[in-house]
């Protein structure tokens, strides 16, 4: 049988440039916020027209891989980590699902009087005691969430005995106090100084704040404020 030589299908020039930029980002040679070479420079490097380079960069911009700033240049886009709103998931599991490393730092673990405002949310008298924890969650050593949580002792009496450097409060509560319901809302606001310090962000950067109240055993189990840097976080959801 005679050999049939099929023509080799070559990649379009713009795709080669796209793949080059993507490989540099994946290798870590160009990271979030880094400027990439100008279109004229890439055109000379690959021996193509600037129009070809422009198409490659435009498609990368549409895919939110890079960000073009008129009069300045093109930069690697800031990656935004995702969190689901519909399903209550352990942040450590979400990070692991992305193939990334999670770790946490415990900043506060104490018993406090619930006070009037939180007391109304919990259905407790203002003088009653609740547990309070503040945990910072990291993804690949980048702080992405400050979890400020108050917990009802009658639902999770052993909360204060947990090691929240190795176990997340969410994982413990989901195991100890099975979820019956949840209420939440989200706002964007400028965080106080102690939050900016924990998230290592500028004082002027806004945060996405998730206020979440969970119910278990016929009562409010916890009330949490979850602070996320707006530049590197987004919420998703589907029904």
220 within 8 A of 213, measured Cβ to Cβ:
yes
Does 111 share its domain with 98? yes
pLDDT in tens, 148-179: 999 999 999 999 999 998 899 999 998 888 88
- Torsion 214-216-222-226 (CA) sign: negative
Identify the DSSP state of 206.
Answer: -
Does 55 share its domain with 108? no
Identify the DSSP state of 173.
Answer: H
Q: Give the CATH number of the domain where residue 184 resides.
A: 3.40.1410.10
Does 92 share its domain with 199? yes
Q: Is residue 8 part of a domain?
A: no
Beta bridge partners of 136: 105, 146
Does 122 share its domain with 22? no
Dig out the tokens for 100 from the structure.
């990334």
Beta bridge partners of 185: 211
Mapped onto helix, strand or coil, the DSSP state of residue 221 is: strand
Q: Is residue 110 part of a domain?
A: yes
Residue that the structure tokens 């002792």 belong to: 153
Domain count, the chain: 2
Does 231 share its domain with 144? yes
Q: Give the CATH number of the domain where residue 59 resides.
A: 1.10.10.10
Does 210 share its domain with 127? yes
Q: Is residue 1 part of a domain?
A: no
Average pLDDT of each block of 10 consecutive residues along the chain (239 residues)? 53 90 82 87 93 92 82 78 55 85 95 94 94 95 95 95 91 86 88 95 92 89 94 62
Which domain covers residue 88, as residue numbers? 81-236
**pTM, entire model:** 0.64
pLDDT in tens, 110-144: 999 999 999 999 999 999 999 999 999 999 999 99
∠ Cα 33 37 42 (to 5°): 145
Q: Is residue 154 part of a domain?
A: yes
Identify the DSSP state of 232.
Answer: G
Dig out the tokens for 88 from the structure.
């209550």
Q: Is residue 177 part of a domain?
A: yes
Does 90 share its domain with 67? no
pLDDT at 236: 59
Does 115 share its domain with 187? yes
pLDDT at 239: 42
Does 145 share its domain with 197? yes
Q: Is residue 2 part of a domain?
A: no
155 within 8 A of 213, measured Cβ to Cβ:
no
- Give the integer Cα–Cα distance in Å for 128 and 226: 23
Element (H, E) at 217: none
106 within 8 A of 169, measured Cβ to Cβ:
no
- Give the integer Cα–Cα distance in Å for 17 and 107: 46
Does 216 share its domain with 101? yes
pLDDT at 102: 93
pLDDT at 80: 53
pLDDT at 79: 61
Does 37 share its domain with 62? yes
Does 18 share its domain with 87? no
Which of 76, 100, 122 delimits the end of a domain?
76
Q: Is residue 3 part of a domain?
A: no
- Give the integer Cα–Cα distance in Å for 110 and 124: 18
177 within 8 A of 217, measured Cβ to Cβ:
yes
Which of 76, 95, 110 delimits the end of a domain?
76
Mapped onto helix, strand or coil, the DSSP state of residue 111 is: strand
122 within 8 A of 130, measured Cβ to Cβ:
yes
Q: Is residue 218 part of a domain?
A: yes
Which of 50, 76, 102 delimits the end of a domain?
76
- Give the integer Cα–Cα distance in Å for 193 and 92: 25
């Amino acid at each position: 049988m005679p050999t049939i030589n099929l023509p080799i299908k070559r990649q379009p020039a713009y795709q080669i440039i796209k793949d080059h930029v993507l490989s540099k980002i994946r290798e870590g040679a160009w990271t979030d916020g880094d400027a990439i070479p100008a279109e004229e420079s890439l055109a000379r490097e690959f021996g193509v027209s600037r129009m070809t380079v422009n198409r490659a960069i435009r498609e990368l911009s549409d895919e939110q891989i890079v960000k073009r700033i008129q009069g300045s240049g093109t930069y690697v886009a800031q990656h935004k980590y995702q969190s689901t709103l519909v399903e209550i998931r352990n942040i450590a599991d979400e990070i692991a699902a992305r193939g990334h490393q999670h770790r946490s730092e415990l900043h506060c673990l104490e018993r406090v009087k619930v006070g009037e405002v939180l007391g109304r949310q919990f259905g407790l008298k203002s003088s009653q005691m609740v547990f309070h924890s503040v945990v910072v969650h990291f993804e690949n050593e980048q702080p992405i969430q400050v979890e400020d949580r108050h917990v009802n002792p009658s639902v999770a009496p052993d909360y204060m005995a947990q090691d929240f450097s190795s176990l997340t409060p969410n994982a413990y509560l989901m195991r100890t106090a099975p979820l019956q319901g949840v209420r939440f809302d989200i706002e964007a606001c400028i965080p106080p100084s102690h939050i900016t310090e924990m998230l290592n962000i500028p004082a002027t950067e806004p945060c996405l704040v998730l206020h979440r109240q969970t119910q278990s055993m016929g009562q409010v189990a916890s009330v949490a404020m979850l602070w996320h840097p707006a530049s590197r976080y987004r919420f998703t959801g589907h029904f």
